[in-house]
Structure 1
Amino acid sequence: MALTLVRPTMDLFAAWAEALAEFGGADVHGMGMDASTAPDRASCAALVELAERFADPGAEIPADKVHADHFWMVDDGEVVGFIGLRWELNAYLAHVGGHIGYSVRPSRRRRGHAGAALRMVLDHARERGIGRVMLTCDDDNRGSARTIEGAGGVLGDVIDASDAGHPRLRRYWIEL
């Protein structure tokens, strides 16, 4: 596995569209958009533009959002997943979202992609001067919990997040 993190780009449109289609409308963390979006050139171009804007510290973004870096996990030209680093937490993210969100396409899970990408994004967070990050996962998602714990995540608590439309969530912290 030679996993790299690549900022969203039209150069990988076909690989992105294939990955997105595999999620079948499911929630895709770290991607910066909803998986129910049609994987066409226009939606990919919009995502590329959105990712560039959110990564620009001088850009104006909606009041309910935070600046972030979005990456595609790429292995030998194939987009195998998505990961995002939010530079800070607003009230919603502090409750249920965290600094980092990621998703690996179903056919590429259990191969170490999430752990490798998470380690790379943690290095990126250090470079940004972020001293501590929060990550969340569903309480019953043992794979994601192991991934976060393997990267140094310490369980802070498990909460009922039904008020935010989520199941019980495990909230982890990683000191950088």
Structure 2
Amino acid sequence: MTVGKEHVRLIKPSRAYKDAYLEFYEDWVRSGELMVPWVISKDPSEFDEMLAFLQRNEQGIDIPEGWVKDSTYWLVTESHKIVGAVNIRHELNDKLFNSGGHVGYGICPGERQSGYGSEILRLSLEKTRELGIAKVLVVCDAINEPSKRVILRNGGIQDEDYVESNGNVIERFWIENVE
């Protein structure tokens, strides 16, 4: 789908996109913001090891106790620029049910307000369908109005909030994931 001025798609992390990913990563670093989803905070200086780490997570190999298998994708423009990333958890444990959800996505700070958030979630829902997830949990901090709008635009139905031990309120939304 065309968003902003360019067509975008989700791709698996790949060495072919190393330079584009490093630019994406540096945009986040320069912003000083918390990197979302969590996988993009992994230092990419050992790029091949980072790719292997992501592949092991997807296969469920050497994942820490209490974690679940997950798949990571990059949102790429037709000019081969990475503008976002998504981490899709294949199932929910208690922590993910309360505060993580099935899908965690982020658009790099320099590319926001271009429609990429809605598109990355829409494309992520296609990936969750491929995994057989019929009802998808997506969450955001209560103060994150842009993310809440993205979730609602993609069919999110609000469920009970979850309050973390530090008082942060997590808004939880379910999306029926059928075509």
> Is the TM-score greater than 0.5?
yes
Report what 1:15 is aligned to.
20
Q: Which runs of 5+ in 1 are unaligned?
A: none
Kindly indicate whether residue 103 of structure 2 is the aligned counterpart of residue 136 of structure 1: no
The answer to whether the 8 A contact 1:31-1:70 is kept is no
- Distance (Å, rounded) in 1 between the aligned partners of 2:66 and 2:156: 26
After the TM superposition, which parts of structure 1 deviate over 3 Å for at least 4 consecutive aligned residues?
none
Report what 1:70 is aligned to.
72
Kindly indicate whether residue 161 of structure 2 is the aligned counterpart of residue 158 of structure 1: yes
Over the matched positions of the two proteins, sequence identity in percent amounts to 28
- Could you say what secondary structure the match of 1:32 adopts? helix
Moved more, 111-120 or 165-174: 165-174
User: Over aligned residue pairs, what C-alpha RMSD do you find?
Assistant: 1.7
C-alpha displacement of 1:82: 0.6
- Distance (Å, rounded) in 2 between the aligned partners of 1:152 and 1:114: 14
- Distance (Å, rounded) in 2 between the aligned partners of 1:166 and 1:85: 26
Report what 2:117 is aligned to.
114
Q: Which string of whole-angstrom CA distances, capped at 9 and with x for unpartnered residues, describes residues 34-67 of structure 1?
A: 26x3x42x1x22221111112225x342222111
- Distance (Å, rounded) in 2 between the aligned partners of 1:149 and 1:3: 21
TM-score, scaled to structure 2:
0.87
C-alpha displacement of 1:154: 0.6
Kindly indicate whether residue 165 of structure 2 is the aligned counterpart of residue 167 of structure 1: no
Q: Which string of whole-angstrom CA distances, capped at 9 and with x for unpartnered residues, describes residues 53-112 of structure 1?
A: 12225x342222111110011112111011111000112111111100011011100111
C-alpha displacement of 1:31: 5.2
- Distance (Å, rounded) in 1 between the aligned partners of 2:62 and 2:159: 32
Report what 1:86 is aligned to.
89
C-alpha displacement of 1:18: 1.0
C-alpha displacement of 1:133: 1.1
Name the count of aligned residue pairs.
Answer: 169
Q: 1:27 aligns with which of 23, 28, 34?
A: 34
- Distance (Å, rounded) in 2 between the aligned partners of 1:69 and 1:29: 14
Kindly indicate whether residue 106 of structure 2 is the aligned counterpart of residue 103 of structure 1: yes
- Distance (Å, rounded) in 2 between the aligned partners of 1:6 and 1:31: 18
TM-score, scaled to structure 1:
0.88
C-alpha displacement of 1:33: 4.2
C-alpha displacement of 1:166: 7.0
- Could you say what secondary structure the match of 1:136 adopts? strand
Q: Which runs of 5+ in 2 are unaligned?
A: 1-5
